Amino acid sequence: MKKNSKFTQKNTQKRNLKFVASVLLIGLLILTLIIGFNFIDNKFNNTGDLNLSLIEETDSNNIIQKSDDILDMIEYHKYDEYLVKEEELKIDENYTENVIENIVAKYEDDLNILQAKEKEIDNLTTSEYEEITRIVDNNNSKLILIKEDVREDVVEKAKLVIIMDDISFGHQVKDVEALNLSITLSFLPPNTIHPKTSLLAKNINEYMVHLPLEALRYPNKEDNTLNVEDNETKIESRIKEIREWFPKAKYINNHTGSKFTADKEALKKLFKILDKYEFKFIDSRTTPKTKVQLVSKEFDLKYIRRDVFLDNKADVEYIKEQLKKAVKKAKKKGIAIAICHPRKTTIEALRQSSEILKEIELINMDKLNL
């Protein structure tokens, strides 16, 4: 009996040991799986973070171009029977309202996403949302609906404005004048590097001011660049000085400014002062997150923006292709604004572009009377 009892006890101990070993083994397997999933998840998240940082470091010009493409998709949308064109004439307002409602309905899902994710990089749809807002706002303006079959008889020749930024020296003015084209010069304010810009402007009837505003990342910051944290007193001192230097200027556009133009409160301070000194602001659109349109609406001002950058690449053929794009936009909108810079390749591309430009009327910015 004692032997059987001992044998039974040993078997029981073995079974217990096997059970404990099995539990430990299963626990170890579960722990291994958890660690593995966490590792995979961390790797995925790290990859996601890396991709986001790469997006943030992507050439800003490419990001802005994608944003512009989204704007084009909406702004130049063609309808089967009608072309919507701004004019100071009465219209069938009910039809226009229905068209706008259809556009908004089409993008309703995007609107909901945008309102929740406005500050995120989300395929640049923030700009799409702002453009939809602009289209809806047009319901309050006077429009005319023109049937496609009579459009050519009614619509005036399209107008294109080419603004040449960064004008700083006399040789740049001479290079542009030699083109014998209606190019709008946008002068940087005087500083120690280019002290005579205001003197150069005195000999020109129509010109603009290229106002340096704070950028997110830009190493060659201009002296006296306006920053987001600047108070109204500092901003007014700067704008008053610019008005004294450039008494004939009607328009100002931003030099850099990817941080400043994305800050609504900073823009509100600037717009208040610009209005006081009778300047109108043109959004150079150096960021897809620009808030200029929203602030323009608050101040009951027409939103004026750049449509095309001509010379992101210092290549003559590329610039000519961009110029074709600007002409195409002008023909669709009636008016378009392009921006370029006083570089040798840009001057040469413009010199070679008489055939491209013959389809539109090239005019100075002041002639638009916006």
Residues 184 and 89 in one domain: no
Q: Does residue 136 fall inside a structural domain? A: yes
Residues 135 and 194 in one domain: no
DSSP 15-26: HHHHHHHHHHHH
Residues 119 and 190 in one domain: no
Residues 179 and 150 in one domain: no
pLDDT at 326: 97
User: How far, in Å, CA of 170 to CA of 331, rounded?
Assistant: 33
Residues 192 and 142 in one domain: no
pLDDT at 369: 75
Residues 128 and 212 in one domain: no
pLDDT at 370: 76
Q: Does residue 21 fall inside a structural domain? A: no
Residues 129 and 165 in one domain: no
Q: Does residue 247 fall inside a structural domain? A: yes
User: How far, in Å, CA of 302 to CA of 319, rounded?
Assistant: 29
Q: Does residue 361 fall inside a structural domain? A: yes
> What are φ and ψ of residue 29, in 5° steps?
-65, -45
Per DSSP, 147 falls in state E
Residues 86 and 174 in one domain: no
Q: Which of 121, 154, 187 is the last residue of a domain?
A: 154
User: How far, in Å, CA of 175 to CA of 154, rounded?
Assistant: 37
Report residue 250 CA to chain centroid gap: 23
How many CA atoms within 13 Å lie on the side-chain side of 203? 8
Residues 128 and 235 in one domain: no
Q: Which domain holds residue 139?
A: 74-154
Structural contact between residues 142 and 90, judged by C-beta atoms closer than 8 angstroms: yes
Q: Look-up: residue for tokens 């001192």?
A: 237
> Is the sign of the CA dihedral 276, 280, 284, 290 positive or negative?
positive
Q: Does residue 330 fall inside a structural domain? A: yes
pLDDT at 123: 47
Q: Which of 154, 185, 207 is the last residue of a domain?
A: 154
Residues 133 and 184 in one domain: no
Residues 171 and 286 in one domain: yes
CATH code for the domain of 264: 3.20.20.370
Taking CA atoms, 207 is separated from 137, 167, 327, in Å, by 30, 10, 22
Q: Which pair of tokens denotes residue 282?
A: 């043109």
Residues 318 and 350 in one domain: yes
pLDDT at 58: 41
Q: Look-up: residue for tokens 């505003």?
A: 213
Structural contact between residues 317 and 347, judged by C-beta atoms closer than 8 angstroms: no
Q: Which residues contact 90 (CB under 8 A, 6 or more apart)?
A: 142
Q: Does residue 243 fall inside a structural domain? A: yes
Q: Does residue 146 fall inside a structural domain? A: yes
- Domains in the chain, number: 2
The pTM (predicted TM-score) of the whole model is 0.64
Kindly give the parts of the chain with pLDDT less than 70.
1-156
CA distance from start to end of the chain: 112
H helices of the chain, in order, are: 2-57, 60-75, 93-106, 108-116, 125-137, 151-154, 170-179, 197-201, 232-245, 264-276, 292-298, 316-333, 344-351, 354-357
Q: Does residue 38 fall inside a structural domain? A: no
DSSP 83-131: EEEE-SS---HHHHHHHHHHHHHHTHHHHHHHHHSTTS-STTHHHHHHH
Q: Which of 154, 173, 188 is the last residue of a domain?
A: 154
Q: Which pair of tokens denotes residue 57?
A: 């470091």
